[in-house]
Amino acid sequence: MLNAKIKNLEKEIAILKNKKNSNNSHIPPSKDENRPKKNQSLREKTDREVGGQKGHEGATLECSTGVDEVVKHRPGFVVVAVKI
């Protein structure tokens, strides 16, 4: 019982010592464990306020109320299903 537990712990140690990453295996860099998370910015915090310049009015495109023309896009080829 104790020998089996020791062997299991030795296997875990071997796995932890030989961690694979993008430098020593085919694993892509996006799967590296020590890389920054996607929601973590690498930029340092500043005392500046976010947003545009003071006094500048923004402009947003409004949705149109009516449609001028409807264009149907269809493929220029015919797909034929062949049953084998």
Question: What confidence score (pLDDT) does residue 36 get?
Answer: 66
Residue 36 DSSP symbol: P
Question: What confidence score (pLDDT) does residue 9 get?
Answer: 92
70/66 Cα distance (integer angstroms) = 11
Question: What confidence score (pLDDT) does residue 21 get?
Answer: 75
Q: Confirm if 19 and 27 have CB atoms less than 8 A apart.
A: no
pTM of the model: 0.27
| Averaged pLDDT in 10-residue chunks for the chain of 84 residues | 91 79 80 71 84 85 86 80 74
